[in-house]
Structure 1
Amino acid sequence: MTHELPDAVREAFETHDGYDVTDDRAAVTTTPFDGTVTVEQTDADWNRRYVVDVTVPTLSAVVGEVVGPAVAEGWFETLERRLEDAPMATRANVELDTFEVRRIDETVEITYAFTSGSESQAADVAKALVEYVEGTYVEGIVPGYDYQPPVAGLLDQAQSGGAQGERGGTPL
């Protein structure tokens, strides 16, 4: 159930780079994928549950040709396994309350939920989780396909090393 963001949470997310905050959620703006954070109250007044939802396209949704079922299934299973390690990408000791990966038509919906008493740390953790999904997605790109946006842009950025890096090959 989505609730209006408490004032302390709103302030923490508004002062953090990379968020667009509305009444009931904070959207991560540092990735082309849809990543949002909602908040639920817990039994403890000082603790809140943060629910991070990220939606990414399936492999077949972003290529210009047909992806065989074995490749599509292998890609999805590998993505799911790798996404489970997301808490290790944070600078906090995060224990997930929820981790779910669902394939719905041409999208993959990922949900992480964690409990925190620090709004500022929650903003850091949530953004790191969303960015981990993006990085993991790019690492799992299968070579040899003609990719469409937004993945084509991510691949170009990865190959060129971003604004300051040197040009390299594909992520894998």
Structure 2
Amino acid sequence: MTEVPDSVARQLESHDAFESVADSYRLTTTVFDTTVGATEADGKRDGRFHVTVSLPTLDAAVADETVATVVEDGWFETLERRLEDVFTVAHTSTHEEPVVDRDATEVTVTLEYVAWDAGEGVEDAKALIEYVEGTYAQGIIPGYEYQGAAATLLENAQSRGQQAADGDTESGGMPM
């Protein structure tokens, strides 16, 4: 990736949820591998953002079991359809269609958009990644034992749910 524009780099570096990694940034508040970068944009826009989120396939997330192909395919098609609406949580209205690719063990979600303002662009990156994470969490199918990031998502949701049930109003509420 090329060098991130100064205005975008300043916003990412000052944001407490992002950290610099090589020539890009990653969101530290998600269990998934993420990459956030930007390049110069045309006109008076602050940057063309490039966001990538790597998710395990359903089969890769399930521990000690193989998921039937029909289940895996249905899960992936549902994820793709749900991610078509990802930009509804963003400030930007100038974006490419989301690209959702899958191989045997990983789903890669690629999001590209233009931000007039670097601060809004960075907030959009965070919101978009969190939308992808939430959409993935909604697609976790009961009845399987999960490992890795999917297991962590379930544990976090259960923990937040228990905190809310115990009356902890600082927990962020009930999980999805």
Report the secondary structure of 2:38's partner residue.
Answer: strand
- Secondary structure of 1:97 counterpart: coil
Partner of 2:24: 25
Q: State how 1:153-172 maps to structure 2 within 5 Å.
A: 153-161=152-160, 164-166=163-165
Which residues in structure 2 correspond to 1:103-142 (within 5 Å)? 103-142=102-141
User: Which amino acid in the other structure matches residue 28 of structure 1?
Assistant: L
TM-score between both structures, scaled by the size of structure 1? 0.89
Q: Secondary structure at the match of 1:158?
A: helix
C-alpha distance in structure 2 between counterparts of 1:21 and 1:44, whole Å: 26
CA offset at residue 4 of structure 1? 1.1
**CA contact 2:17–2:28 (8 Å) conserved in 1:** yes
**Could you say which residue in structure 2 is the equivalent of 1:66?**
66
Identity %: 41
Letter in 2 for 1:70: V
8 Å CA contact 2:31, 2:152 repeated in 1: no
How far apart are 1:38 and its partner, in Å? 1.3
Verify the 8 A CA contact 1:18 1:28 in the aligned structure 2. yes
Determine the structure 2 residue equivalent to 1:15. Answer: 14
Matched with 2:76 is: 76
More helix by share: 2
Return the alpha-carbon distance in structure 2 between the equivalents of residues 26 and 116 of structure 1.
Answer: 17
RMSD, aligned CA: 2.2
Give the direction of change, closer, same or farther, for the CA distance of 1:8–1:50 in structure 2 (3 Å limit).
same
Query: What is the count of residue pairs matched by the alignment?
Result: 169
Distance 1:123 1:162, change over 3 A: farther
Q: Aligned partners of 2:149 and 2:45: how far apart in 1?
A: 39
Counterpart of 2:93 in structure 1 is 94
Using structure 2 for the length normalisation, give the TM-score: 0.87
SS state at 1:120 partner: helix
Provide the rounded CA distance (Å) in 2 between the counterparts of 1:73 and 1:46: 39
Distance in 1 of aligned mates of 2:52 and 2:29: 14
Look up the equivalent residue of 1:42 and give its one-letter code: A
Q: Is the Cα–Cα contact under 8 Å of residues 96 and 113 in structure 1 kept in the other structure?
A: yes
